Homo-oligomer: A and B are copies of this chain.
């Protein structure tokens, strides 16, 4: 396993990313390739007393910032750590790529440099949610508008991920909607609900509402990237807000210092899990090789956790499953198309004879 690590571009890069990579290398044996400014990496290692002797360092002279245009990854900043790392992944010089950098640029680069799985119409960004049962939501921001077919493919890809990475035999899938009944949602949701019901590759449980998700309503939640983004950010904001309010309750009620101390540690742990963006890393599903986004504000521990997600993703073989499903999808589509042509022909023949 060769992990290509983009150490530049996040809020705390390269200090925390280099530290995170060192932490990860102690926890999981793999080859680590750090891509970034060589001088900065070496200075950090010396200053922090980090042993990076077993790491390969690939120098990159540029950095994509949060303000850069997503297309800079393939245009103005081809020598950025992100571009260099993605090209290495595409060329087989590593098995997985992980970055804290600009999400839009990373997604654009993954799509244009690494490319999608053949037959996948759009890749999606997955977020593993804090919930009573393992749960991934996709898309969380890559595609603000979608079609029924994209949603069907998201469902198939999310199922493959939860099966292979989380070991769930037959993951349940729900369509995020504003009610559970079949007539709920926009015309797109009504059509997507029909398609998902008819899709034999997944275990569809129907429309689900936002309040059911944290309680384990299903393992895969599919939605467009706009709604998905609002969902995970709302989850994050409400989580932070409530945890703050809970702390206030302690102070108000004069809870003993010892009790407060005991509880605070657990509460702080909880607080982190309610920020979906910090909960590990976000896999890009539908890209032909594994790419994982770590939160822009990752500290060393969060980045280590994203690297763990990346290795799990790469080792799982989920992308082979997605490729197989994409072929099945194409076959179904072809059959549908031929059936519709045949029906048209039949109608035309009938019209000609009458």
Inter-chain contact B270/A263, CB cutoff 8 Å? no
Inter-chain contact A239/B238, CB cutoff 8 Å? yes
- Chain copies in the assembly? 2
- What distance in Å separates the Cβ of A102 from its nearest Cβ neighbour in chain B? 12
User: Quick one: closest B residue to A179, CB to CB?
Assistant: B229
Whole-angstrom CA separation of A29 from B226 in the bound complex? 46
Q: Which A115-174 residues sit within 8 Å CB-CB of chain B?
A: 131-132, 141, 144-145
- What distance in Å separates the Cβ of A107 from its nearest Cβ neighbour in chain B? 13
Question: Which of B132, B234, B270 is close to A211, meaning CB atoms less than 8 Å apart?
Answer: B234
- Interface stretch, picked from A247-255, A281-289, A319-327, is A247-255
Chain A, interface residues (CB within 8 Å), range: 35 or more
Inter-chain contact A270/B249, CB cutoff 8 Å? yes
- What distance in Å separates the Cβ of A190 from its nearest Cβ neighbour in chain B? 10
- What distance in Å separates the Cβ of A334 from its nearest Cβ neighbour in chain B? 31
Q: Which residues of B contact A241 (CB under 8 A)?
A: 131-132, 214-215
The binding surface of chain A is classed by DSSP as helix
Inter-chain contact A259/B266, CB cutoff 8 Å? no
Contacts known (A226-B185, A237-B213); A255 close to B245, Cβ less than 8 A: no
Contacts known (A225-B178, A255-B262); A249 close to B235, Cβ less than 8 A: no
Inter-chain contact B249/A259, CB cutoff 8 Å? no
Whole-angstrom CA separation of A159 from B176 in the bound complex? 29
Q: Which residues of B contact A253 (CB under 8 A)?
A: 259, 262-263, 266
Inter-chain contact B238/A214, CB cutoff 8 Å? yes
Q: Is A330 an interface residue (CB 8 A)?
A: no
Most buried by B among A232, A250, A253: A253
Q: Which residues of B contact A236 (CB under 8 A)?
A: 210-211
